[in-house]
Amino acid sequence: MKTKPLLIPDRDFEAYLYDCDGTLADTMEAHIEAWVQELMERGLQIDGSLIHELAGMPAVQTVEVMNTRFKVSLDPEEVAQAKEERFYQGYLHRIRPIPAVCEDLIRRAKEGKRIAVVSGGRTRIVKKTLEILNLAPWVQVVICAEDVKQGKPHPEPFLLAAKGLGVKPEDCLVFEDADFGFRSASAAGMLYVKVERA
């Protein structure tokens, strides 16, 4: 996936925090297909644009939004796990890097900066994605859906990453592609870089 030029603030940060899906990894279309198929099998037909709208939100919360919006009563934990398993088994082979962001992460790590990946995804999938992209050795902290009580747009995921890296929130720069991520970073008191499709 080609991205627009990254508008990075002209100052040094102690730590660099990266979202995974849509930021480091070009996976959004695969995630959307997995969601649409999983929900269709459960009698709910949705437009993929809705998943784009909810990008960055943990899967359990995504199902809760579906329940509210479509007046259904799907089990959030069960459906979230089934969708993640569907993605893990059938879509991981389609993961591709977003070169500009992956290269930025490796460059910062080589400079001795502290690196975290902060995702609304499940740990197993996020860690496997980082392995596929050859980024795992460069990352000190990985925060995923299971690690937080409140996912993006709440600030908890980014604040937990900063704490894990031992740095103040204001000394972190976030790379994100979704509105929930932008809001989460801002609420955590962090500047962020928008990763946008060219």
Rounded Cα distance between 103 and 98, Å, is 9
Q: Is the separation of the CB atoms in 30 and 188 below 8 Å?
A: no
Cα angle 53, 95, 16 (rounded to 5 degrees) comes to: 70
Instruction: Provide, for the chain, the percentages of residues in helix, strand and coil under a 3-state DSSP scheme, each rounded to the nearest 5.
Output: 50, 15, 35
Rounded Cα distance between 103 and 55, Å, is 23
Q: Catalytic residue among 10, 19, 26, 75, which? A: 19
Rounded Cα distance between 188 and 49, Å, is 27
Q: How far apart are the first and last CA of the chain?
A: 8
Tell me, yes or no, if 19 is annotated catalytic: yes
The residues assigned a catalytic role are 19
